[in-house]
Each structure stands twice: as C-alpha cells, then as structure tokens.
Structure 1
Amino acid sequence: MEAFYIVVLVSTALVLLAAFSSLLAFRFGAPLLLLFLAIGLLAGVDGLGIEFSNNYLAYILGSIALAVILFDSGFGTTIHAFKLAAIPSLTLASIGVLITAGLFAVAAMWLLNFSWLEGLLLGSIVASTDAAAVFFLLRIGGINIRDKVRSTLEVESGTNDPMAIFLTIALVELLASGEGYAGINIGMLAMFIQEMGLGVILGLLGGMMIAQVVGRLDTDRGLTPIFVLGLAMLVFSFAGAVGGSGFLAVYVAGIYAGNRKLPALGSIKRFQDGMTWLAQIIMFLVLGLLATPSQFPAIILPAVALALFLIVVARPLAIWLSLLPFDYTQQEIGFVAWVGLRGAVSILLAIMPILGGLQNGQIFFNTAFIIVLVSLLIQGWTIKPVAKKLGLIIPPRMGAVDKVEVDLPGAANHELLSYRVIKDSPILRGERIPRWATPSLVIRDGKSMRYQYAGRLRENDLVYLFIVPSYSRLLDRLFASRAPVDADDAEFFGAFALSPARPAADLDAAYGPGLLNESERGLTIAELMKQRLGGKADYADRVRLGSIILIVRDLDDQDHITSVGMSLEAVEPAITLPIFINLHDIVQRIRDRLKGRKTPEAIAVSAPDPDENAPENRG
C-alpha cells in the first residue's frame, strides 16, 4: 500500500506540474505539448530517476488518450468546416501521408543505413501530423486564419492518423515475418479498404447511437457527459475489435454527434475540454517517461537531419503535390506545409517496432522521439510568425466577447445565454436587442432586476437572454468590444472597394475576357462570389478571377455580402516558394505569357471608397 500511495503521489505531482506549466506556455508562447514532453523526460530514468519501461502499457494508455482527443476534435468540428475542406484534407490524409513516407524513406536509407522497408516504416511513423498539437495551436493559440485553411489543417490532422497507423502496423508485421518484399500482396490493400470502410461506417452508426441515446436520456446532468464519452469509447473499441479503424470511427462519431443538438451541450463540451487536456498531459508525460535521453547522442545528428528533411523537403513536396488540383493560394499551401507538427502519435507508433521485436526497434523509437522534439521546437514556436509573414492572419471581425452558455433542462428549442456588457460594445452605444432574443434578467452591482426595469445597460452588467439555438453568433456582435485594427488591414482586404451589387460582367470587361462563363455574366459580384464559394461566403473569403482576387470584407446577419475588396496582386505572392504554385496559377501564367499580360491598373473598375475603407466599417 505504501508503494501504491507513492505512485499516486508522484503521478499526481507530474500531472499538476504539467497543468501549471500551461501558464508559462500561454505567457511566453511556448509549445505547450513540448513542455509536457520535457517534464516527462526530466522525471524519467535520466532525470529524477523514475524508471518506466513498459512499452505495452504506454501504447495502451497512449491509444486511449488519442481516442479521447480525436473524439473531442471531431465533436468540435462543424459540418460546414468539414464540407469546406473534406476532399483536400482527405487527399492530404491519404496520398499526402504516402508521399511523405516514401520521400522520407529515401533519406532514412542514406542517413541511417536502413533498408527501403525500414526507411518506409520510419517514414510512416512520422508521416502524420499530430491532432493534439494542431488543434491546440489553432484553437487555443490565438491564430486567426481563414476558415478554409484552418478546416483543412484540423480535418487533415484528425483523419491522417488511421493511414499512418495502418502503414506502421503492416510494415512491422512484414519486417517481423522476414518475408521482405515478397510479403507485399493484394491482401494489404483489401485490409486497408476494410479498416477505413468499417471505420467510416461504424463511426457514422456510432455517432447516430450517441445522439439517439443521449437525446432520450432522462438522467442527472452530471452523468450526460460521462454517457457521451463512454459511448464514444465503445465505438472506438468495437470498431477496432471487428477489424475497422477505431481512431477513424471515433473521429467520425465525434463529427456526427457534435453537429446534433444534444441536451446539456454546454456541460458536455466543458467536460470534454477537461478530459482532452488530461488525455494530452497523460499521453505526453508517459511517452516522455518512456524515453531514455542518454541513448540520443548516438543518433542525434542523423535524427536531426531527418527532422529537417521532413520539415523542409518531404512535407512541403507532399503537400504541394496533394493540393495541386485544388484552389489554394501559394501562401496557403506554404502554411499548410509548415503546420506539419509531429507529436505524441509519432512517438506512440514508434513503440510498435519494439513490440514487434524488430532488430532496430529502439533506434526507431529514439529517432522518432528526436524528430518530434525538433518539430515542436521549430514549427511549434514559429506557426504564428509564419502565418503573419505569409499574410494569412485575418483581421478580427469583432473584439472580445464575455459570454456564458447556461444549460436548460429539456429546452431543445431555446438557449439561455449570459453576456457581460463590455466597454465600447455596440449594445453600450445604443444598439437594440433583436426581437428574436428575449432578455429576462440583468445583474448590476450584485443586484438582480428585470430587464424592463433596468433602464439603459451599463458597462459590466450581466444580461441573461433566451434565444433560438444557432443565433448566438448574431448576438455576439452586439456585446463584443471593438475589433483591434492593424495598419496593414487595407493590404489584406485589397486596394479597391467594390459594390457587391455591381454586375459581375464589369469585371470581365475590365480584366478579361475569359474570367466568367456564360452562366455567370448575369450575376452580381456578390452572387458570383457566393456561387464560386460553394453557396456560402464567410468573412475574409477570397475568390480568384484571373489576375485579381475578390475579398469578402463584411457580411450582414443573414450572411449576405455587404462589402467587397479587390486585390490587384493575385498571382505574385508576398513570400512563398515556387513549388507551391497550383494548377490554376500555372495555367493562368501560361495564358498571360501567350497573350501578353494586361496590367490591372489599366482599367479601374471603381475607385476606393474612403468611407468603406475606414477601419470602423470593416471591423
């Protein structure tokens, strides 16, 4: 019993230390997951002396933690975000992983004297991006980028793990059997199709089950989040047990369930946030404890060289080739290529060669561990500066909002929100609350009063309102502070302002011909942009037309485009690499060379509107 209490004491102390380290990470912008990993290393056999060498237990704990993280990742992904980036993300998660692993294998053969299959195994281990690292940096790290790019990265990180896991397990079995290339057969392809197919099907069925069971439950609110997570783990384990990909299944189940109106949704999200943090901490601490840093010097130079090759060559080439058919700008492709963070998944997969009894099992693990450290150090610390350098940080549409969602038992058609009135917010400047929102209570200086008798709202008032679900984002604008506006906003939103009601044919006459097809000539600029964006326009969305780019500057409450900017420098990027030119750019440049490029300055569609360019009308 004394040993048991010591184990619990040490484990709890490490978890608390990791949690407290988050304060340091938020303050100095350090990659938080790198701190978790470092704490595990410092507490391990070469640090404080805690000896942990149970590879199988580490793999089990890491797999469970990864399942929790993937479910929460899917739960927080809107169906709009998934549709926006599904095809390119799935291309990255499949073809991109294969290309990355293949390119990396060549470098591993040369630097580590591996065979081709061994190099491919190591490439598969480090080929997938880490969902925990990507979701943390994009959702919590304060990086405000376009929805299209954010969705691509999030969906890719959530769906590329099954491919990497399949390749790793298949190659470990192949190498362990000693059959070599002779063991590669059509059965592997059939196994892959089975795993992915069952993963998707069982994930959808599991998501439906979660939505149905939780929607019909009449139980204590504290139990609802436990039911959701328990059912998610049931989907994960069942899919794996019948030959499917449990990781893909739990991610798909999260997407389905997260886009359904579940009771106690606020409680579910808060509970899952806590569980995801705990899962990340445990996974990184355990994997840090498992490592033996004293073994790193023997392979440090080739491992660092491989990490740099992965960051600078393999990942960018794989991303460019995978996104070549899609309409991504050079800056966007460059940013997606840079956000290829390796993390706990790669270390977790590096345990497989040891469990499979491969001769170089420990070399695989140590090399992958060093690659993860280099990735988190270089990429994790530079994502925001790179996004800013590439011009992908979009100006915030509105400032801070102090909002709390209050759970209502059995209120499927209503939500209760609490807003704190912030200085300089529109509601404080006299804007009216819309009719579809029903304010019920105001708390001022610790005293509660009915809204009707509260008079004019004051700063720091708490206002409680009943609203129809999904309308909360429209209220956010009323209670938000002013958006901070940088001096370079005009550059982001284009040099000219256009009226969205103008005929799109004017653009074709000025900058064409050939920008529009026959069906688009009768549309307005707003209608053209919405059609090219798949029927829905978002703030800061961009539409490329030949040598110009149209930018959504603002939308109204019904998501109608109310302001459009135009950039006259669509083809030449600010900072990028030539390899990131997509097919559209290549075709356009060939056309320009053949017919002689027309300078956009020759004909101005409209002069900039000074009032529309004003920061207060764009925030």
Structure 2
Amino acid sequence: MIQEILESNQFLFLIALLLIVSVVVTKFSSRLGVPSLVLFIAVGMIVGSDGLQLVYFNNAEVAQLIGVMALVVILFEGGMQTEWREIRPVAAPSVMLATVGVLITTAIVAVTAKYIIDLPWLEAFLLGSIVGSTDAAAVFAVLKGKNIKDKVSSTLEAESGTNDPMAVFLTVTFIQLLSLEESNIWTAVGSFFWQMGAGLLTGIIIGYVASLSLNKINLDSSGLYPLFALGFAFLAYSTSSLIESSGLLAVYVSAVVIGHGELAYRYSILRFHEGFGWMAQILMFVLLGLFVSPSEVFTGSVMWSGVLTAFVLIFIARPAAVFSMLGFFRFSTKEMLFLSWAGLRGAVPIVLAIFPMLAGIGHSQTIFNIVFFIVLISALLQGSTIMQVAEKFKLVSERRINPIHSLEVISMGKANVEMLEFEVTDQNQIAGETLEDLSLPDRALINAIIRDGDMITPYGQTTIMPGDTLYILVARKVKKQLKKRLQALKEN
C-alpha cells in the first residue's frame, strides 16, 4: 500500500515537472524562432525511454485516444475564435483545398514514396494520405496573435479545420485495402460524402443547440459555462462518430456556430478554452514525443527518406495543390505562394500514423517514423518562417482590429446587464471623439477610462484617445449594437 502511494506521488511529481517545463519552454519558443509544438515533442523525447528514461510509454491505443481528445479541444477553441464573416468569402476555395487539394498532395507524395523510398504502392498511398492534410493544431498555434491579412489567414484556418475528413477517409480506405477487408470504390466514395455531409449537419445542429443553451440557461456559477460548452464539443464529436461521420469536422463547425452568435459569458468561455487548448497541445505533443523512439527516427535511412519526402511535400505537392485549386479564385501569386508555404503538418499526421500500427499493417513502423520526421521538418522549416514569408510578400495587415476576445464580459449577478472592456485603437471611429458625441445606444454607459495606467473619471467633454481602455455597463439586448459601434473603423 505504501509503495503504491509512493509510486503515485512520484508520477504526480513527474507530471507537474513536465507541465511546468512545457509551459516555460513556450516563453523561449518565440525567441528561438521555433514553434512551441517542436519543443513540446522534444520534452517528451528527452524524458522518454531513449532519453533520460524517466517515462516508458509505447501504448498506441492510449496515444491515439489522448491525441483525438486533445484535437477535439484544440479544434473547438480554434473554431470559437474563428469569425464566420471572415471565412465565409473563402469557404469555397478552402473546401477545394480540403478535398481535391488533399487528393493531389496524396498522389504526388505517394509517387515519391514508391520510387524514392521504395514502398509498395498501397503503403505509398497510405503514407501520402497520412501527410496529405494540413494540421489545425499546428496552424492555430502558429497563426495565433499574428497580424496576417484576413483573406489568407482565414483560408488557411478554414482549410485546416475541414480537411481532416479527407485525410481520415483516405487513410482508413488504404488500411482496409491492405488488410484485405472488403472494400468497394463506390462504397468508399459514398462513405466520404456521408462523413462530410453528416459531420457538417451534426456540427451545425449541435452548435445551434449549444448556443441557445448557453444563452438561455442560468447557472449558479460563471465557471460552469466553459465546462458546459466543452461538453457540447465532445457531444459533437461522439454523436458524429457514432453515426460514422467526421467527428472532427462536427467539432469545428459547432465551434464556429457557437462563436458566431451572441454568447453569454463569452470572455470566460474563451479564456478557459484558450488555457485548456494549450494544456491539450502540451499533453498531446509531449505524449507523442514519449511515444516515438529517437533511436529509430534519427537513423540514416529514415532521415534520408523523411528529408526527400518532406522536400517533395513542401516544394512540389503542396504548391501544386494550392495553385491548381486556387487558380479558379481571386488569389494573387503572392497569396498562393504564402498558402503553399503555410501548409503545416503537425499532430493529425502523427495520430493518423498510429492507425496502421493498430491495424498491424506491414511497414507501419517505417511509415510512422517517416511521418514523424516530416512533421519535425515542417514545423521547424515552415512554422518558424511563416511571419518572415508573410512580411516578404506584404501580407501583414497594417491595421489592428480588436479580436472578439478583447471584450471582457463580467457577470452582474442575475441582472440583465454586463460590463464590457474595450481597448481603443487609432483605427476605431470613436478615437478622437468626445463622450457626448459618441452616440452610444440607450442603456449603455461608460463607467471608467484607463489611460496610461491611470483611471479617468468620464464626463461629457472627455475625449477618447487611442490606447484607452473603456469599461462600459450595457443592457444585454443592446450589446450587439454597442459592439458594432465600438468596432467600427475609420474610412481610409
């Protein structure tokens, strides 16, 4: 009994150290110019069986389960932060990239795997399917806080949030072919459209139900609302999976629906899921780092195969998919070049690479090792240079528009009012106006202004200045009207 308690305490102590170290390394990721996900993986490999040997982990089923659960959290957080008004104009090109673009990428990588790595054709197409889609976790993590123009960033986010069904469909199809299971091409095609359609519909329905529930229910504590929202995220995934459609697509769509409408306790929900999303990323990438064996990955044959495949993927397959698909839409050459470069690979390919191992497919360990090495190259090479490429192509937005999470909503008990926090920029129309000229909606009152760290008591002749933080008490029924007035931008 005492020994079991001691082992439990040692395990908790190790978890605490891993969590603290992982959070601390994010502080250095921007200084080193390395995406944090690479550092998380490095932490896992260092403490794993080939490193300090503090943790031995080789359970593929547990790795897959935790990876999927983490992806649900990350996709849900990213979807709620996504503005529908921004992704609606690029929905068509994003879907083309997420479907036909993945097919093109898969085919080109498969030819490379066949003739360069010398894999059999089915295994070559399996490898191409696994790395054929961009990764939402990596894309959301790298783009977060970046001021890249809406058109390209929205296209990339929408593509990465919706291309998982195609990757999963292709991966499962080739695993079935390799397992000698009955597989009919028309059945497979029908399955894909079912996964996409049913996943989309499930996400929309659960998103609307969640949005209605979050706004109508009156819980005793504001801290319960984020958990309530998280429950709907897993409900969307599980419901969609039970009807054999795309659970990840359902999660992303439901999150976009929830984030698009008016949402009570929005600030609390977004902040909770941002922190929980970081924890999911840390857990997933550290675990994947533990699962991999560096002594098997960093060998001459794997590194050579990985470098060649990554080169073809980054410089040939991805640009071919982007230019062939977006050539039908109004994208400039610079925008298409940037989207080609920003097609990051991350957790999804690694999680999908576990599928063949669970199915006992031949060459599955080789495929996993090559995929892992491709992800490392993609994260290091592409993830660390995205902003430099965006600046080179002049795709960095000059105006800074306050994202929705900059509006802090504070509960006022059971009263039908809320307190909004809004930071004014020089692009906002209200900058330079006096309070008496603001024309705010009725039942909206500016209670305080924070300027240069000092609080200013507002009165009619007070002028709103860029950098001011306004605290506004507003009735819920006019909150949407107030936000529209506050976020209105000056005409150029």
**Counterparts of 2:431 and 2:397, CA distance in 1:** 26
Equivalent residue number for residue 469 of structure 1: 479
Counterpart secondary structure, 1:416 = strand
Equivalent residue number for residue 361 of structure 2: 358
Counterpart secondary structure, 2:459 = helix
**Counterparts of 1:65 and 1:277, CA distance in 2:** 10
Query: 1:216 offset after TM fit, Å?
Result: 2.0
Counterpart secondary structure, 1:5 = helix
Equivalent residue number for residue 139 of structure 1: 144
Task: Answer yes or no: is the 8 Å Cα contact 1:105–1:119 preserved in 2.
Answer: yes
CA deviation profile, 1:397-451 (whole Å, cap 9, x unmatched): 5799996513234899865223578999998866546121521235689997853
1:303 to 1:205, Cα distance in 2 relative to 1, 3 A: same
The total of aligned residue pairs comes to 476
**Counterparts of 1:445 and 1:165, CA distance in 2:** 51
For the pair shown, the structure with the greater C-alpha radius of gyration is 1
Gaps of 5+ in 2: none
1:104 to 1:448, Cα distance in 2 relative to 1, 3 A: closer
1:73 to 1:177, Cα distance in 2 relative to 1, 3 A: same
Taking CA–CA contacts closer than 8 Å with sequence separation of 6 or more, which of the two structures ends up with the larger relative contact order? 2
CA deviation profile, 1:436-485 (whole Å, cap 9, x unmatched): 152123568999785339967899976422354344475368xxxxxxxx
Equivalent residue number for residue 166 of structure 1: 169
- Code of the residue aligned with 2:448 in structure 1: it is L
**Counterparts of 2:313 and 2:454, CA distance in 1:** 59
Of 141, 152, 157 in structure 1, the residue corresponding to residue 155 of structure 2 is 152
1:249 to 1:412, Cα distance in 2 relative to 1, 3 A: farther
Of 11, 17, 22 in structure 1, the residue corresponding to residue 21 of structure 2 is 17
Query: 1:15 offset after TM fit, Å?
Result: 1.7
Counterpart secondary structure, 1:451 = coil
Equivalent residue number for residue 217 of structure 2: 217
- Code of the residue aligned with 1:325 in structure 2: it is F
1:391 matches 2:394: yes
Query: 1:41 offset after TM fit, Å?
Result: 1.4
Task: Answer yes or no: is the 8 Å Cα contact 1:199–1:248 preserved in 2.
Answer: yes
Query: 1:212 offset after TM fit, Å?
Result: 2.1
1:295 matches 2:307: no
1:261 to 1:332, Cα distance in 2 relative to 1, 3 A: same
- Code of the residue aligned with 2:283 in structure 1: it is I
1:313 to 1:258, Cα distance in 2 relative to 1, 3 A: same
**Counterparts of 1:363 and 1:27, CA distance in 2:** 34
**Counterparts of 1:369 and 1:398, CA distance in 2:** 37
Gaps of 5+ in 1: 478-554, 557-561, 564-619
Of 71, 74, 77 in structure 1, the residue corresponding to residue 76 of structure 2 is 71
**Counterparts of 1:159 and 1:422, CA distance in 2:** 33
1:205 matches 2:205: yes
**Counterparts of 1:152 and 1:406, CA distance in 2:** 29
1:411 to 1:308, Cα distance in 2 relative to 1, 3 A: farther
Task: Answer yes or no: is the 8 Å Cα contact 1:402–1:419 preserved in 2.
Answer: no
- Code of the residue aligned with 1:284 in structure 2: it is F
- Code of the residue aligned with 1:280 in structure 2: it is Q
Task: State how 1:394-433 maps to structure 2 within 5 Å.
Answer: 394-397=397-400, 405-409=408-412, 415-419=418-422, 431-432=434-435
Counterpart secondary structure, 1:326 = coil
Counterpart secondary structure, 1:253 = helix
CA deviation profile, 1:297-331 (whole Å, cap 9, x unmatched): 04211111101110000111011111121111111
Task: Answer yes or no: is the 8 Å Cα contact 1:403–1:417 preserved in 2.
Answer: no
**Counterparts of 1:250 and 1:351, CA distance in 2:** 21
Task: Answer yes or no: is the 8 Å Cα contact 1:206–1:253 preserved in 2.
Answer: yes
- Code of the residue aligned with 1:208 in structure 2: it is Y
What is the RMSD of the two structures over their aligned residues, measured on CA atoms?
A: 3.0
Task: State how 1:489-504 maps to structure 2 within 5 Å.
Answer: none
Task: Answer yes or no: is the 8 Å Cα contact 1:203–1:253 preserved in 2.
Answer: yes
TM superposition score normalised by structure 2: 0.89
Counterpart secondary structure, 2:419 = strand
Task: Answer yes or no: is the 8 Å Cα contact 2:412–2:419 preserved in 1.
Answer: no
Counterpart secondary structure, 1:465 = strand
1:399 to 1:101, Cα distance in 2 relative to 1, 3 A: closer
1:189 matches 2:189: yes
1:449 to 1:110, Cα distance in 2 relative to 1, 3 A: closer
- Code of the residue aligned with 1:138 in structure 2: it is L
1:451 matches 2:458: yes
Counterpart secondary structure, 2:361 = coil
**Counterparts of 2:402 and 2:83, CA distance in 1:** 22
- Code of the residue aligned with 2:237 in structure 1: it is F
Task: State how 1:276-291 maps to structure 2 within 5 Å.
Answer: 276-291=277-292
